[in-house]
Amino acid sequence: MLDELALMEAQQEVHERIAQQVPLEETLDAIARWIEVLLPDGVPAFMRFDTKRQVLSLIPSQRFSQAYQDCLQAVPIGPDVGSFGCAAYCREPVNTEDILTDSRWAAFRDAAQREGLRACWSTPVLTAEGELLGTFGIYFRDPNHPTEASRRRMKQAAALVALAILRDRDASNHRALAEWHRSLFVNHPDGVYEFDLEGRFQRGNAALTRITGYPEEALIGRHFNEFIEPTYREHTQAGFDIAREGGAHQYETIGVHRDGHSYRLEVLNFPVSVDGEVVGVYGICRDITARKREEEARRLLERGVQATPNGVVMADAAEPDIPLVYANDAFYRLTGYAPEEVLGRNCRFLQGPGSDADAITAIHRAITEQQPVDVPLLNYRKDGSPFWNHISLSPVFDEEGNCTHYIGIQQDITQHREQEARLAYQAMYDQLTGLPNRAVFDERLEASFEQIQETSGLLVVMHLDLDGFKTINDGLGYHIGNQLLVAVGERLRQLVGADDTLARVTGDEFALLLPDLDGRQAGIEMAERVLNRIAQPFMVDGRPLHISASIGIACNCQRVDYAYQLMQRADLAVADAKQQGRNTWHWYEGDQQRITKETVLLRHDLHTALRHDQFELYYQPIVEAVNGRIRGLEALIRWHHPERGMISPGVFIPLAEQTGQIIPLGRWILRRACQDAAAMRDEGGLGGPIAVNISSLQFRRAGFLEDVRAALDDAGLPPELLELEVTESVLIDGAEPAIELINELKAMGIRVALDDFGTGFSSLSYLRDLPIHKLKLDRAFIKDIGTNRSDAAIVQGIITMAHHLDLVVVAEGIEAWDQQQDLVRRNCDLLQGYYFAKPMPREAVLKLPGYLPAATGR
């Protein structure tokens, strides 16, 4: 097994070398070291392709002798020129498993034998456009043939070599282009100057001084015609007037040198406009005696700028908004703008909502400090499409050290960024299913574990192993198996929430990280949903396939010192699930003694909670199905543990029932619910009766009726505002005692509802005889009502039957608009669920309107 740390370090080194744009040889050496980690017996080799000569040359490396390096210089490519020449010629990988028997190595076999080389795998290094850059090869000292994994590694290495060579080539072009543009301003052969609107010089460059013989300070403030031959002054004034009126005019005139001699000038005057207003006139002049040489230099520079594939712009640093004064054709092609839409504007018009604020800040800081800067920045074309732009911005200074302009080189690196994103994606996600891989899962598990340590919440890990997948894969072919894995991943993806993590960890195994479950019961329900979804047939390649899964579950309910232990325990649990017959789940049980100890501690904390009033009642509205009018509230208990935070009722209610603590806890709930109901009635915020869940132990216990009367009397609450919810478990001792007790409650004015109907064991005869007024449909029948015909039929049957018995029907667990609409069509009376409102404290209930808007429309 590869040393994972060494592999990660080698990969990191490669990416750092490419990102830092170090010399190509250093980057290739880093790639070689990465390959040596992957293939310890291999000897990496890189050959550069000369497009003009159509030859390959081995890049110098300490891994080969000088003699062997000399032998592999300027080698023509061809089908019989070793594996490297053939790979370059055919543009596809060529693997020589034994050099001694491969006829393509005839010309190099002796050299390879002296070098101790017996095998060579060669892969062409190509750009995305198919340009051949060279070859990448791995030599072995013994005959060897590539595995599928090594073929993938060779392909990855070739892609990295291509990226490194392209980056090196682009960096070299970039440096050359930057130097050209710097020289354009520093060494411009023409005189460049500015006029105010009266024709007085405002500024001039060194070339103007060389041409006229006058220093810049001698020109500033003086009219241009003072330096023109008298017979040409009118002609020169006319050219200036055209520019002052907003036009540009090129003409020839004759100037008078400082030493008195005359010389011919070619002059260009053009206006300087800010926000559409002419604020000055630029002038450019050149001595015609050197015209041919200067014109050729100018044409050469212009061709160089226009020929570059990168966008080039210049901005005037003297103007407050630093407007663009130049952009090359590549810039216009890159951005989609026309020159008239660009020049005179600050280049910020290319920015948009996705532009990195830090990169923009770096540009502003460099401009303020008059320093060069190189940053990648997301820009936007005229049509709104984004592109990644590598911006190289440099200040331009005049002879006196003043920054007059900025030059920017803009390179479209969108493809490079996409390639980097693909490499990053491949490192984090499974290529088949698109799900996070094991590395990402472990990273998120570690992060969630650290967070849970602070909140004392529940963290659940599930390890899912498909049952019988190998049989399908071997019998029907890997292409069918792959399609099945993709389909399984898609079904699982539909079950997880936004904060959950679903990963394919290997082969036919998946993992689920669930950080937001309310308790073990929620984990069990999740496992059941997974099993049910996977058990449904898959249509793959036109045929139905059936498969099941075994699930191992672990959580931090028991002591967990390290995050990875959760996955280890889930692995153990999945093995137990397999042993139990598969198509099931198994929760890691661990140390039973520790479970007992934690149960004892929780029981003690439950006693403490009752004494110190750590419980609180939340209320969830019950609304009319059609219009959302609030018709009542259900009281739901919450435990605020001082050390463990919020503890789910699914944890402490079963414990309270096991230990008998449900009796005092039930009394507390009953008293507090009556007190809250009386208070809400007095404040006008009670839209109907408050429903209180009564456990079967509490219901059957002697003195229960006295407890109810005492709670009503102490709170001053009319009995018609109290409703008791019982489950079918109250019938465990027979229907007669329950019927008698419910009749007594009914005589007191208290109504009784049958909760979770359909999930227990009672018969319909009990339902006929029980003096209840309401049925509550369990959420298990509601969640899939729109897709499960069986659930829909059961729900419709219960509603119809209940109405014939003059019973009101309440549906629990409404979480979506389509569920509400479906139940309205089925004439369900009342609804309850997160779609309308989550459970909330009493104070929040008082702020609710009489009608909940969720019921009136989507």
Query: How is residue 326 annotated by DSSP?
Result: E
The pLDDT value given to residue 732: 61
C-alpha torsion sign, points 285, 290, 295, 300:
negative
pLDDT at 550 over 90: yes
C-alpha torsion sign, points 326, 330, 334, 336:
positive
pLDDT, the chain, mean: 87
Taking only the tens place, the pLDDT of each residue in 90-145 is: 999 999 999 999 999 999 999 999 999 999 999 999 988 889 999 999 999 999 99
Half-sphere exposure of 419 (CA within 13 A, CB side): 18
Token pair 């930057």: residue: 178
Residue 192: closest CA among 107, 108, 101, 298? 298
The whole-number average pLDDT for the span 628-646 is 90
Q: Where does the pLDDT of residue 295 fall: very low under 50, low under 70, confident under 90, or very high at 90 and above?
A: low
Rg value, the chain, Cα = 41
Measured distance CA(544)–CA(476) in Å, rounded: 12
Residue 412: closest CA among 483, 476, 468, 336? 336
The pLDDT value given to residue 597: 44
The pLDDT value given to residue 712: 95
Q: Where does the pLDDT of residue 741 fall: very low under 50, low under 70, confident under 90, or very high at 90 and above?
A: very high
* Residue 279: Cβ within 10 Å count: 13
The pLDDT value given to residue 858: 42
Q: 3-state DSSP call for residue 525?
A: helix
Full-model pTM:
0.37
Taking only the tens place, the pLDDT of each residue in 761-803 is: 445 666 777 899 999 988 888 888 888 888 888 899 999 999 9
The pLDDT value given to residue 110: 93
The whole-number average pLDDT for the span 235-250 is 94
In the sheet with 373-380, reading across from the earlier edge strand, the strands are 324-327, 311-316, 403-412, 386-397, 373-380
Q: Which residues, in sequence order, are CB contacts of 817 under 8 Å at separation 6+?
A: 835, 854, 857, 858
The whole-number average pLDDT for the span 204-226 is 92
**CB-CB contact of 58 with 73 (8 Å):** yes
Q: Which residues, in sequence order, are CB contacts of 778 under 8 Å at separation 6+?
A: 756, 757, 758, 759, 812, 813
**CB-CB contact of 428 with 435 (8 Å):** no
The whole-number average pLDDT for the span 394-418 is 87
Residue type, 598: E
Q: 3-state DSSP call for residue 389?
A: strand
Taking only the tens place, the pLDDT of each residue in 3-56 is: 566 556 666 767 777 777 778 788 888 888 888 888 888 999 999 999 999 999
Measured distance CA(300)–CA(551) in Å, rounded: 72
Burial of 128 (0-12, 13-18, 19+ CB in 10 A): exposed
Query: How is residue 3 annotated by DSSP?
Result: -
In the sheet with 585-587, reading across from the earlier edge strand, the strands are 501-506, 509-514, 460-467, 548-555, 585-587
pLDDT at 486 over 50: yes
The pLDDT value given to residue 178: 58
Residue 495: closest CA among 534, 535, 450, 550? 534
The whole-number average pLDDT for the span 556-580 is 86
Structure tokens that stand for 780 in this block: 């298990």
Taking only the tens place, the pLDDT of each residue in 656-685 is: 876 678 888 999 999 999 999 999 998 887
Crossing angle (nearest 10°) for helices 148-186 and 291-307: 150
Q: Which residues, in sequence order, are CB contacts of 105 under 8 Å at separation 6+?
A: 82, 83, 96, 99, 112, 120
Find the length of the chain: 858
* Four-point Cα dihedral 209, 215, 218, 223, nearest 10: 10
Pairing mode of beta strands 630-641, 690-693? parallel
Q: Dihedrals φ, ψ of 647, to 5°?
A: -105, 130
* Four-point Cα dihedral 171, 174, 175, 177, nearest 10: 160
pLDDT at 838 over 80: yes
Burial of 28 (0-12, 13-18, 19+ CB in 10 A): buried
The pLDDT value given to residue 491: 94
Q: Where does the pLDDT of residue 170 fall: very low under 50, low under 70, confident under 90, or very high at 90 and above?
A: confident
What element of type H or E holds 211? helix 206-212
The pLDDT value given to residue 101: 93
Burial of 257 (0-12, 13-18, 19+ CB in 10 A): middle
How far does the chain reach from its first CA to its final CA, in angstroms? 55
Measured distance CA(241)–CA(269) in Å, rounded: 9
Q: Which residues, in sequence order, are CB contacts of 272 under 8 Å at separation 6+?
A: 194, 278, 279, 280, 281, 282
The whole-number average pLDDT for the span 419-442 is 87
The pLDDT value given to residue 3: 57
Measured distance CA(391)–CA(381) in Å, rounded: 15
pLDDT at 181 over 60: no
- Identify any residues that bridge with 49 across adjacent strands, giving them in sequence order: 56
